[in-house]
Amino acid sequence: MFSAIARVFRTPDLRRKIGFTLAIIVLYRFGAHIPAPFVNFPNVTSCLDQSGSAEGLLSLVNLFSGGALLQLSIFALGVMPYITATIIVQLLRVVIPHFESLYKEGQAGQAKLTQYTRYLTIALALLQSTTLVTVARSGQLFGITGIPECESVLTNDAWWAQLLMIITMTAGTGLIMWFAELVTERGVGNGMSLLIFTSIAATFPSALWAIQQTNGFEVFLLVLAIGIAVVALVVFVEQSQRRVPVQYAKRMVGRRTLGGTNTYIPIKVNMAGVVPVIFASSLLYIPALIAQFNQTPDADGNVPGWVAWIQANFTTGDHPLYMLVYFLLIIGFTYFYVAITFNPVEVADNMKKYGGFIPGIRAGRPTAEYLDYVLTRITLPGSIYLGLIALLPLIALATVGANQNFPFGGASILIIVGVGLETVKQIDAQLQQRHYEGLLR
């Protein structure tokens, strides 16, 4: 293994790509610690020490920004606007035929969809930065009331100061998007995925140290043991796939004989990735957000009954009803997202077009029905696995009292393992091109 790593750095081209990627990551983390204009950074630091971590959707955005959101830095929004824009463009392919036709056009159509994604990212960044500045100005960003430092995190409340903060954060999102594209073109791996990986990995040391400080060394060792077991499980499931065999008939093209090969369609156990967890977290935050704006007490001084019920059941992650709804939403969104991203009819038509067939299954509609049957069967354990992994931080909060940003569960561990595996595979492929021996044995 060490000799393989040494070969990586002895290869000039690969060494240059890895160095460029690391340089972009350093710039990204540096920008995450530069406060936006008119931010009272000492007050922000004091509130962070007293509040611990954010809850709901805010915690997810803060996780993807590497903690930059609650620090109100120039990169406060992180990669979340780009992720949201990418998901929206994927969903629009289902309802807008023009987007689907662009997707099928090849490289030119993909470039057009990428351009739409960039425009949508900037629009979402404007919206999210406006919301963030408004919440920070109201003093509700950290969920603490009655503390003067948390109610005055901005040094200037003038409209032009808020506008400058919004423009700065939006420009930060555009710069992050440019960084990601540079890494994809000149570095190693997918740029946006690596930036997400960096943001999440940056929160691991502080989360583990907080667990050790608040719960003691025994709980810290227990969390580490659970983390190693969870990482092994996630690697095993992420690499698991059902290989559907495909044979291609021989055909004559001019004087050449094509086809006659055997291959397979790899159907992963977890085809949806981390998207269902993001969808479910976002949807569960909506009731608490609606209740937050309907807390006007009546004549007796009580809030409405439905608001009190939501506050009792859907604002804390350790409530059993919250966990159950969260788990069921993840299962539902997994089936929904897999149905969007993998179209059995399209795959069957492409196989038929090039003379491919599944042994024992007729080409055309029977092939599509068989693929749909296999996909439905294999998505069930994948969705249950996603739900259990996503519940790990909530279970840890309810049982051992660990920090809600439990590092070895939820979206964080899925992204860390997935991006890590993909990056290692790309380095391995480039090594095999040059040395005929890869990084992995």
In a structure prediction context, what are the per-residue pLDDT tens digits for the chain, which is 441 residues long?
Answer: 566 677 777 777 888 888 899 999 999 988 888 888 888 777 777 776 665 555 555 666 666 666 667 778 888 888 888 888 888 888 888 788 888 888 878 788 888 888 999 999 999 999 888 888 887 777 666 665 566 666 677 777 788 888 998 999 999 999 999 998 899 888 888 888 888 888 888 878 877 787 777 777 887 788 788 888 888 888 898 888 888 888 887 766 666 666 667 888 888 888 888 888 878 877 877 777 777 666 666 666 666 777 777 777 776 666 788 888 888 999 998 998 888 888 888 888 888 887 788 888 888 888 999 999 999 999 999 999 988 888 887 777 666 666 555 666 677 788 888 888 888 888 877 777 766 555 555
Q: Which two tokens stand for residue 350?
A: 């492409």
In angstroms, rounded to a whole number, what is the distance separating the alpha carbons of residues 23 and 12?
Answer: 16
pLDDT for position 331: 92
For the chain, the first-to-last Cα distance in angstroms comes to: 8
CA distances from 203 to 59, 412, 425 (A): 12, 10, 25
pLDDT for position 73: 84
In angstroms, rounded to a whole number, what is the distance separating the alpha carbons of residues 123 and 163?
Answer: 15
CB 137 within 8 A of CB 155: no
pTM of the model: 0.78
In angstroms, rounded to a whole number, what is the distance separating the alpha carbons of residues 172 and 7?
Answer: 36
Phi, psi of 258 (to 5 degrees): -115, 160
Phi, psi of 120 (to 5 degrees): -65, -35
CB-based burial of residue 41 (10 Å sphere; 0-12 exposed, 13-18 middle, 19+ buried)?
A: middle
In this structure, which amino acid lies at residue 135? V
CB 17 within 8 A of CB 188: yes
pLDDT for position 121: 92
In angstroms, rounded to a whole number, what is the distance separating the alpha carbons of residues 356 and 354?
Answer: 6
If residue 255 lies in a helix (H) or strand (E), which one and from where to where? none
CB 274 within 8 A of CB 418: yes
In this structure, which amino acid lies at residue 379? T
Closest residue by Cα to residue 114 from 177, 168, 25: 177
